[in-house]
Amino acid sequence: MIGKSQNPRCFKHMDFSQMPVQWKANKKAWMDSSIFGEWLKDINNKMKRQKRKILVFIDNATSHPHSVFSNIELKFFPANCTSQLQPMDQGIIQSMKLSYRKILLMDVLSRVESCDSGQGLIKSITVKHALYWAAQAWENVKSETIQKCFANAGFGFYEHANLDHEENIQNMIDDLSSSLGIECCSGINFMNIDEEKQLLHAYTDDDWETQLIENYLSPADNETLELDEESDSDIPISKAPTVKEALYSLDVIKTFSNNDSKVFGAVMKAESAIKELISEGTCQRQSKLTDYLEKIN
C-alpha cells in the first residue's frame, strides 16, 4: 500500500514488519519505478528461495521498468490492449474494492448512532484502518474469482467470472439510508465509485460520504474535512491498555457473542494471539500473581 507519509501518526508503536501489507510512501502516493522495482526484487528473491522461475505479465506504465531478473521474466502487454488482456482488470481489482467498501460501510453502520458528528465519524477512520481493511478485502477475494478472471483474459478454461457483491452492498446502503433518513446512492453507483462521480442528487463531490453523514448529524456545521493521512495530528492517540485490560475486553466480547460461533471464534483467535505474545515475552508483564490475591489479616 502506498501513502504520502512514511510514518503516519496512527502508525505510532507499530512494527512495520508485522503489518499485513507492505507500506511505502511518496509525495503523491503513486506507484513509481523505485517502489515497483523493489517489489520485483523481493518477488525474485522469493522465487530463488523456492527454486522457481515465473512469468510476470504487466502493462507499459512508466512505473514498470524493463529490468532483468534471474527468476522472473517480464512480459509486457501490447499497447492499448491492457483492458482486455490484463486479468486484474477482469474483476480481481473490482472484487477487492467491493469487499473493501463493504467493510467500510459495515464500520459506518456500526458507529453512526454513537458519533456526535459526521466529521468525527469520518476522521476517526485512519490510514491504519484502511491498511487492515485492504488486507482483509484481499483475503476475501476467492481463488475461484482469480481463476475465472484469468480465464476471461485468455488464461485457462474456466467459466466467466461472476461477482456477487451487488445485493449485499445494496442492502447495507439501504440500512444506512434508513438510519440517516435520507436517500443514498444505488449499490451499482457505489460499486463503480471510481468510474462514476454523480452518486447522489445532492452530493456529487469527491467527499460525498462526509457531506452525507455531516448533514444528518450536524447540519449547521459546514467545515471542510481534509482526508489525508498526515492531517490526523488532532486525533488523540489512546494509551495502550494493559494485557489484563485487553483480555478482560475480550471476555466482554465473548459474553456479547453468546451463541454466535463466528464472532466467538474470532475472539478466541485474538485471545490466543495475545497469550502467544505473553508467552514469547513480547508483551511487557504488567501484573504479578500477587496482584490477584487478597491479603488476609
Residue 72 has pLDDT above 90, yes or no: yes
Q: Give the side-chain half-sphere CA count within 13 A for 146.
A: 7
Q: Give how far the C-alpha of residue 23 lies from the chain's centroid of Cα atoms, to the nearest Å.
A: 12
In this structure, the number of other CB atoms found within 10 A of the CB of residue 97 comes to 17
Contact in structure between 152 and 160 (CB atoms under 8 Å):
yes
Residues 78 and 97: beta-carbon distance below 8 Å:
no
What pLDDT does residue 141 have? 92
How many CB atoms neighbour CB 215 within 10 A? 17
Q: Residues 210, 225: contact at Cβ < 8 Å?
A: yes
What pLDDT digit, counting tens, does each position of 99-149 carry?
Answer: 898 888 888 877 777 777 767 777 788 898 899 999 999 999 999 889 888
pLDDT value for 78: 87
102 and 170 Cβ atoms separated by less than 8 Å: no
Distance, in Å, from the CA atom of 76 to the CA atom of 66, rounded to the nearest integer, reads 9
C-alpha cell, 103: 467493510
Helices (H), the chain: 33-50, 82-85, 92-111, 118-123, 127-140, 143-152, 166-180, 187-191, 208-217, 243-257, 261-280
* Average pLDDT value for residue range 181-192: 58
Question: pTM of the full predicted structure?
Answer: 0.65
CB 62 within 8 A of CB 33: yes
SS3 letters across 50-72 = HCCCEEEEECCCCCCCCCCCCCE
Q: What pLDDT, in 10s, does the model give residues 278-289?
A: 777 665 544 454
pLDDT of residue 197: 42
